[in-house]
Amino acid sequence: MSKEIEVPQSCSLIKDGKLTLVIKNAFKETLLRQGISQPHTLIAAHHTTDKQYKGRGLLPAILIQESNGKRMVAKQCMRGGLLRFINKDIFWGGKRPFREMIANAHILTKGIKTTEMLAAAHYKVLGPLYRTYLFSLEIPECIDLITFFDRLPQKPPQQRFKEKAFLFEAVARAFVTMHRGGIYHRDLHLKNILIQKVHGEDTPEIFIIDFDKAMCKDILTPKEKLKNLLRFNRSIEKYKLGGGRITRGDQCRLFKEYFKYNSDVYDLFHKNIKLYSFLLRLRRAKWMMGSFTAQRIKNPAS
């Protein structure tokens, strides 16, 4: 593994039987004492902790010993899509968790707000098959965008409008910062955007997470930037198809704010808008078919 992947200087590589672990030096001794070398056991021991986050399953926020109250969010990686009904947690190969760890160390140097990864673990099952675990420093008092929008109906209409307006503009500017840093996020969707409310401020802090598939370049092309933006918009459309409370005006606000800083991306978007609209209609049809198939798998007798 060490020959295949260049471990950042801020990290250490540990191999122990079936386990391969890349861990931040600043937390190494503490986390090893807490049992991070047995990631599945560590996570299982905290599955009923009082603080958990929603992902593909519940993600416990584990208190880090001797850290003045800091916590780490522990995640066993799970598959999405229809394949999850056949194989939910076993992957092929072994580099994915370490790619994300390496990308995270690079991205943090670009001024992009994201979680700080503390450790990535690869646990061999059989041959090239493995399970993977990620441990990240908790961002206190944050929620993902789907949670934010799911909670909106509880708020008065005027407050909903105001919060959404500030939010989408802040998200667009976070994307601008990411793209100026040469980072192309291959899996940009609503759950990979976290917001943290700043006391006394209308505009929240925006954090972008899950860079395991990211491409890091010196400069992104307008086509790459637009492709990233459209990927995020597709996640909005999919969420809306399930009843999510995001309006066309919200989406326009996001694009308008982003295009203020990237006129070349706007020109490309305007030139090909009919094609993008057609492709989006095809995706909606695919999502509806996928949703129907998933329901039949879950309830074959219905």
CA-nearest of 95, 112, 70 to 61 is 70
Confidence (pLDDT) at 193: 96
74 in Cβ contact with 62 (< 8 Å): yes
> Which sequence spans correspond to the domains of the chain?
11-137, 142-271
Q: Which two tokens stand for residue 250?
A: 């919200």
Tell me the β-bridge partners of 59.
Answer: 53
Q: Which pTM value belongs to this model?
A: 0.82
Q: Which two tokens stand for residue 8?
A: 């950042």
Confidence (pLDDT) at 106: 87
Alpha-helical (H) ranges within 195-260 are: 222-241, 248-259
Residues 6+ apart with CB under 8 A from 205: 113, 170, 195, 196, 197, 198
b or e along 31-62 (b: 16 or more beta carbons within 10 Å of the residue's beta carbon)? Answer: beebebbebeebbeebeebeebbeeeeebbbb
CATH 3.10.20.30 fits 142-271, yes or no: no
SS3 state at 123: strand
Cβ-count burial of 14 within 10 angstroms (0-12 exposed, 13-18 middle, 19+ buried)?
A: middle
Confidence (pLDDT) at 294: 61
Confidence (pLDDT) at 51: 84
DSSP codes of every residue in 139-157: -TTEEEHHHHHHHGGGS-H
pLDDT tens-place values along the chain, 302 residues long? 445 667 888 899 999 999 999 999 999 999 999 999 999 999 999 988 778 887 777 899 999 998 999 999 999 988 776 666 677 888 886 677 888 888 888 899 898 999 999 999 999 988 889 999 999 999 988 899 999 999 988 889 888 888 998 999 999 999 999 999 999 999 999 999 999 987 667 788 999 998 878 899 999 999 999 999 999 999 999 999 989 989 999 999 999 999 999 999 999 999 999 999 999 999 989 888 876 666 666 566 55
Strands of the chain, DSSP E: 11-16, 19-24, 52-55, 57-63, 71-76, 91-92, 117-126, 129-137, 142-144, 183-184, 193-196, 205-208, 215-216
CA-nearest of 113, 84, 74 to 211 is 113
Amino acid at residue number 76:
Q
103 in Cβ contact with 5 (< 8 Å): no
SS3 state at 183: strand
CA-nearest of 223, 230, 219, 227 to 264 is 223
Confidence (pLDDT) at 78: 83
